[in-house]
Amino acid sequence: MFQIAPLFRGLAAIGLGFALLGCVLSQEQALPSAVRADVVGPRKIIALVPDPESAAQMRQATRSAGYQELDVTRLGGLDLTMLTYRMPDGVTGAQAIAALEAAVPTSTVGVNHAYRLQQQQGAAQALDYADTMMRWSEGGCAARVPIGLIDTAIDATSPALAGAEVITRAFFEGPSAKATHGTDVAAVLANPDRLRGVRIYSANVFGQPEAGDPVAGADALVRALDWLSGEEVRLVNLALAGPYNKLLNLAVDRAAARGLILVAAVGNEGPTVDPLYPAGFEEVIAVTAVDVEGRIYRNAVRGPHVDVAAPGVDVMLPTAGRLRFVTGTSIATPFVTARLAADPAVAAARNVSEARSRLAETSAELGPEGRDTVFGYGLALAENICGE
């Protein structure tokens, strides 16, 4: 690993200079004490089965028990079938899971947990520090692999994406959430100062309820992973987080077995909560956020699953002719995804373990020596990775 304290001291001095000129610092927020575990469609239950025989057994079991079949979809990219039902009145999610898994032992049955974006508006620190901090080579690197983006829709007409090829698909019905978050994440990925010639497969999984924040159902995430696996996308960015869900767990396992490298935000629920998902899965690279001085973002989730850190506090983004500053583990995640996409060693990696080892070898210590529960292996660096 690298030592990077001298760089932080220089950047911190610059940041202090701007603060003295009157920039407002981000206000600290109270830490939540529990993880939200909402669902999309409270009467909906979903089953994943591996073969036609299991699907037929599930359809027979649900029919006889009074479940209403809503959808049956073959997920060729994950080699699974998804069956969606409305539960009978008086049956809870836990009861439905137990009964249907007992009836069809090869099935994985779960409720449709909700997943949320992990980004907020930041205060203007007026310092575009991220590329310098990660030591990106001047002129950036060529993208070695296409990138999957599981997020909101993105605005492919944004000037920030002028050099990118964007393929889009939606995985839910109803009103779509605003494209701001997905466009922000895509802008980090496609910035030519980091990556050139980026191809982005944009999976829009976020709907907008009549009231409340945008949410993505576990079913939409499973469908998106199936699509990306079928398109042979090797690298996937997930700037979202939510509770453990066994359906998502199975889909992540299948995607990883097919060689997909998944990179996810650890989440912004605070340092005292249990791991959020998909970052909490062993098969996923979990990204946390730090500021210009290498200090951890105070709302970042912590734990032994954290793999690596990247800039994620008051990161400057150009939007519609003006500058915005955003904060959160969501915005740190695409910096790591971009760094992986630029590295020929990662393009040749056979699995996520090899990609994780590459990050461990090329990261800069931020905390105790070795991997720790706050920063993981440390700050992801992009120094000398282009291989050109």
DSSP conformation letters of 345-384: HHHT-SSHHHHHHHHHHHEEP-SSSS-BTTTBT-EE--TT
| Greater model confidence, 75 or 137 | 75
Measured between alpha carbons, how far is 66 from 5 in angstroms, rounded to an integer? Answer: 63
Q: Could you tell me which CATH class the domain 5-26+115-380 is placed in?
A: alpha beta
Measured between alpha carbons, how far is 203 from 169 in angstroms, rounded to an integer? Answer: 5
The answer on pLDDT for 10 being more than 70 is no
The answer on pLDDT for 57 being more than 60 is yes
Q: Which of 108, 84, 102 is nearest to 171 (CA)?
A: 84
5-26+115-380 against 44-111: fold identical: no
Measured between alpha carbons, how far is 339 from 349 in angstroms, rounded to an integer? Answer: 14
Q: Which of 96, 20, 46 is nearest to 247 (CA)?
A: 46
Give the pLDDT mean for 109-128: 67
Ranges of each domain in the chain: 5-26+115-380, 44-111
Q: pLDDT tier at 325 (50, 70, 90 boundaries)?
A: confident
Q: Which of 16-30, 172-186, 214-228 has the lowest mean pLDDT?
A: 16-30
The answer on pLDDT for 45 being more than 50 is yes
DSSP conformation letters of 65-92: HTPEEEEEEEETTTTEEEEEEEPPTT--
Give the pLDDT mean for 337-359: 94
CATH superfamily of 44-111: ACT domain (3.30.70.260)
Partnered with residue 144 across adjacent β-strands are: none
Measured between alpha carbons, how far is 149 from 265 in angstroms, rounded to an integer? Answer: 13
Q: Please say if 71 is a catalytic residue.
A: no
Q: Please say if 213 is a catalytic residue.
A: no
Q: Please say if 113 is a catalytic residue.
A: no
What pLDDT does 95 receive? 94
**Active-site position among 54, 330, 343, 363:** 330
What pLDDT does 209 receive? 76
**Active-site position among 181, 229, 305, 307:** 181
Tokens 């057994």: give the residue: 57
What pLDDT does 31 receive? 33
Q: Tell me which range, 121-135, 307-321, 353-367, is most confidently predicted by mean pLDDT.
A: 353-367
Q: pLDDT tier at 324 (50, 70, 90 boundaries)?
A: confident
**Active-site position among 26, 54, 113, 151:** 151
Q: Read off the pLDDT of residues 194-249 as tens digits, 9 standing for 90 and up.
A: 999 999 999 999 987 776 778 889 999 999 999 999 998 999 999 999 999 999 99
Residues 165 and 199 sit within 8 Å (Cβ to Cβ) = yes
Measured between alpha carbons, how far is 137 from 309 in angstroms, rounded to an integer? Answer: 19
